[in-house]
Amino acid sequence: MEFSAEQLAEVLGGKVDGNAEQTVSRLSKIEEGGEGSLSFLANPAYEKYIYETTASVVIVSEDFAPTAEISATLVRVPDAYGAFAKLLEMYNQMKGNKSGREEPSYIHDSVSMPEEYYLGAFGYIGANSKIGNGTKIHPHCHIADNVQIGENCEIFAGVKIYGDCVIGNNVTIHAGTIIGADGFGFAPNSENSYDKVAQIGNVIIEDHVEIGANSTIDRATLGSTIIRKGVKLNNLIQIAHNVEIGENTVIAAQSGVAGSTKIGKNCMIGGQVGIVGHLTIGNGVKIAAQSGIPKNLPDNAVVQGSPAFEYVDYNKSYAVYRKLPQLAKDIHQLKKNLES
């Protein structure tokens, strides 16, 4: 998508000040800019950046009076911030305007597609699966058999959803994420090796959930792994079999939750956190990054450490930890003094 300054001025009801044929293909912050980028100046505190920006075009207020030379082409509009917001909306609509079926793609005979949808090339929809109206499925997705996906979802490229999983409405799943792989269940046998425990449950993802890229959410052994309404999961997160994550809980990248743990509502969990299996974590819990959670946590607990305990106490202990060599010396000296 490439636009000239002139086209922008027309769309925004503004006037070009500079090279009307200058083109832009992306948006930038004015302090970062970059050849071919479009930026805007609305907050006077940022005015200094317009004299050094490398953005190719900058949207400014029609009454903006420069105090030095500007290399960028200007597009003068009545309301710079409003114009940028309008462009942003157009931009997102254009990105999201894909529709229809690209070929080659595979839709099983048993599937009836809704009135409005996008299925990118190399997409696969298995037997008896249902896709809701307005849902967009980008290229290379595998929707296995008996999957239900609700309305107005966006499933990015290369997502794989195993059979029997259920996805609500307005769910976003980023590229490469795997929904419904087998839980990690093996029973030791008499030959010192393992027998697989059949994993015949599914994954249920409720409305308004967003999941990042290359995460993995395992199916339940029996029953369902459940991601409740409004949950936000970042990239490279592992959610094991039979876990339940409560409404509007947010988990940062690379964290993992082991099997059958139940996490409450409105929790905030940092990156690279590990939570042991079969626990109950309350509502409104906050867990610092890289913590390890070995036991149940009550509502509104705030914890840190591996193993984690109360955040304030952890940091007091850690402050002493940093001085341990001096403490050891003090004790040694005390012993000597006492002996003498």
Footprint (CB under 8 A) of its own copies, residues 254-313: 254, 256, 258, 266, 271-272, 274, 276, 289-290, 292, 306-307, 309, 313
- The Cα 77–Cα 291 span in angstroms is 50
Residue 67 CB, nearest distance to its own copies (Å)?
25
From 6-14, 56-64, 69-77, 101-109, give the range in contact with its own copies by CB under 8 A. Answer: 101-109
Q: Which of 138, 142, 174, 241 is catalytic?
A: 241
Nearer to its own copies, 63 or 339 (CB): 339
Q: Is 115 in the site for its own copies (CB under 8 A)?
A: no
Nearer to its own copies, 67 or 325 (CB): 325
Of the candidate residues 14, 57, 174, 301, the single one contacting its own copies (CB under 8 A): 174
Q: Is 117 in the site for its own copies (CB under 8 A)?
A: no
From 7-15, 42-50, 62-70, 322-330, give the range in contact with its own copies by CB under 8 A. Answer: 322-330
From 12-20, 56-64, 66-74, 221-229, give the range in contact with its own copies by CB under 8 A. Answer: 221-229
Dihedral of CA atoms 107, 111, 117, 123 in degrees, nearest 10, equals -20
Of the candidate residues 47, 62, 145, 151, the single one contacting its own copies (CB under 8 A): 145
Is residue 208 part of the annotated active site? The answer reads no
C-alpha 304 chain-centroid distance: 23
Tokens of 191: 């030959």
**Which amino acid would we find at residue 101?**
R
Catalytic residues: 241
